[in-house]
């Protein structure tokens, strides 16, 4: 594969390219959940895939966000004479898409075009937005942006001549699994979802869960603020979206030793989900690092191909 020339990021920060293309929402209003329109957007006039470089067969690209800045993403395109199914990877919190490159290569080896999308939290400094539980609706709007940015990425991916736009999948782990759950309700161009160790109601985790990370945030921000936080972020809780569409297939993967969510929460997520649903449990924690996890979802995705 030819090496694509690197583009200086500064040349892409052009005034006028960063205009918001989403529906305005009240900054401090508690929105009803679910609210599919919260994730509406327009891609009109936005810059598409811009190649940055290629390393070991992985194309590094950027594309303009409908909300702010640019999205960093990665593409793997197997050689083929005909359009191929495509899968979008959504990474866990605290890591970027590069942590999923190895498993993405495995799926690409089975004849899938693969796109991995970085969240706003891990993009280059000019486009990065860090979480802050103390600021009302700040995290809610980061999560909204990630879902919208993925939807814009689907626009662009589906336009590629090497992609079969009728056969799209999303694979999300941990926080990325929560985004996959939202997208399973609002993005009808995608028919297949792999949702790994997603916290069904992430907002409630912070004021309610007995976990060292939640304990630290409660100590820093306060219980009262986090109870408000749970209300304002309910509009981005995956549980509120998994029953909005019946025309989908979903594979859930859970860890029996996951201390970020309870078996009861996982069961509620599975039972609420509409469509064709499969659920698998592993002798794993929240990170689901076993090769069996990748083997099972690759097999599940490709069983009908």
Tens of pLDDT, residues 117-129: 999 999 999 999 9
Is 109 a member of any domain? yes
Whether 123 is in a domain gets the answer yes
Residue 12 within a domain? no
In this structure, what CATH number is given to the domain that contains residue 284?
3.40.50.1820
Average pLDDT over residues 180-188: 98
Instruction: Report the pLDDT value the prediction gives residue 26, as an integer from 0 to 100.
Output: 57
pLDDT in tens, 256-288: 999 999 999 999 999 999 999 999 999 999 999
Distance separating alpha carbons of residues 272 and 295, to the nearest angstrom: 26
What pLDDT digit, counting tens, does each position of 128-171 carry? Answer: 999 999 999 999 999 999 999 999 999 999 999 999 999 999 99
Place of tokens 């594979």: 251
Under 8 Å between Cβ of 241 and 181: yes
Give the residue numbers spanning the domain of 197.
35-302
Residue 28: band (very low, low, confident or very high) from pLDDT cuts 50, 70, 90: low
pLDDT at position 18 over 80 = no
How large a percentage of the chain has pLDDT more than 90? 87
User: Of how many residues is the chain composed?
Assistant: 305
pLDDT confidence tier of residue 3, bands split at 50, 70 and 90: very low
- Judge whether 221 lies within some domain: yes
Q: Is residue 23 part of a domain?
A: no
User: Could you tell me if residue 63 is inside a domain?
Assistant: yes
Residue 114 CA to residue 104 CA, distance in Å, equals 7
Q: Is residue 260 part of a domain?
A: yes
Over the stretch 36-81, which tens digit does the pLDDT of each residue have? Answer: 999 999 999 999 999 999 999 999 999 999 999 999 999 999 999 9
Indicate the number of domains in the chain: 1
So what's the pLDDT on residue 12? 43
How high does pLDDT run on average in the chain?
91
301 vs 12 pLDDT, higher one: 301
Burial classification of residue 216, based on how many CB atoms lie within 10 Å of its CB (0-12 exposed, 13-18 middle, 19 or more buried): exposed
Q: What single string gives the DSSP state of each residue in 227-296?
A: HHHHHHTGGG-GGGTTTS-SS-EEEEEEETT-SSS-HHHHHHHHHH--SEEEEEEES--TT---HHHHHH
CA distance linking residue 300 with residue 305, whole number of Å: 10
| Interacting residues of 214 by C-beta distance below 8 A, sequence separation 6+ | 205, 206, 207, 208
């Amino acid at each position: 594969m030819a090496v694509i020339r690197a583009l200086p990021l500064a040349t892409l920060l052009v005034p006028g390219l960063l205009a918001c293309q989403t529906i305005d929402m009240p900054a401090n209003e508690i929105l009803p959940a679910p609210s599919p329109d919260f994730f509406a957007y327009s891609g009109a006039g936005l810059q598409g895939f811009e190649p940055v470089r290629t390393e070991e067969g992985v194309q590094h690209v950027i594309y303009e966000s409908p909300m702010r800045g640019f999205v960093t993403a990665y593409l793997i395109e197997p050689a083929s004479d005909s359009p191929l199914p495509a899968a979008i990877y959504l990474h866990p919190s605290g890591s970027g898409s590069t942590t999923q490159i190895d498993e993405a290569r495995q799926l690409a080896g089975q004849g899938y075009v693969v796109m991995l999308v970085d969240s706003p939290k891990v993009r280059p400094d000019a486009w990065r937005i860090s979480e802050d539980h103390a600021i009302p609706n700040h995290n809610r709007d980061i999560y909204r942006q990630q879902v919208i940015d993925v939807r814009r990425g689907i626009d662009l991916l589906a336009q590629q001549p090497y992609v079969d736009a009728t056969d799209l999948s999303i694979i999300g782990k941990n926080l990325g699994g929560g985004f996959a759950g939202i997208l399973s309700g609002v993005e009808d161009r995608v028919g297949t979802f792999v949702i790994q160790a997603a916290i069904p109601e992430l907002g409630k985790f912070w004021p309610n869960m007995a976990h060292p990370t939640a304990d630290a945030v409660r100590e820093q921000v306060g219980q009262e603020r986090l109870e408000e936080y749970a209300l304002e972020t309910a509009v981005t809780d995956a549980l509120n979206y998994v029953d909005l569409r019946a025309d989908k297939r979903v594979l859930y993967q859970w860890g029996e030793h996951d201390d970020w969510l309870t078996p009861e929460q996982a069961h509620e997520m599975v039972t609420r989900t509409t469509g064709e649903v499969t659920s698998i449990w592993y002798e794993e924690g929240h990170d689901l690092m076993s090769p069996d996890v990748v083997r099972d979802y690759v097999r599940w995705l490709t069983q009908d191909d």
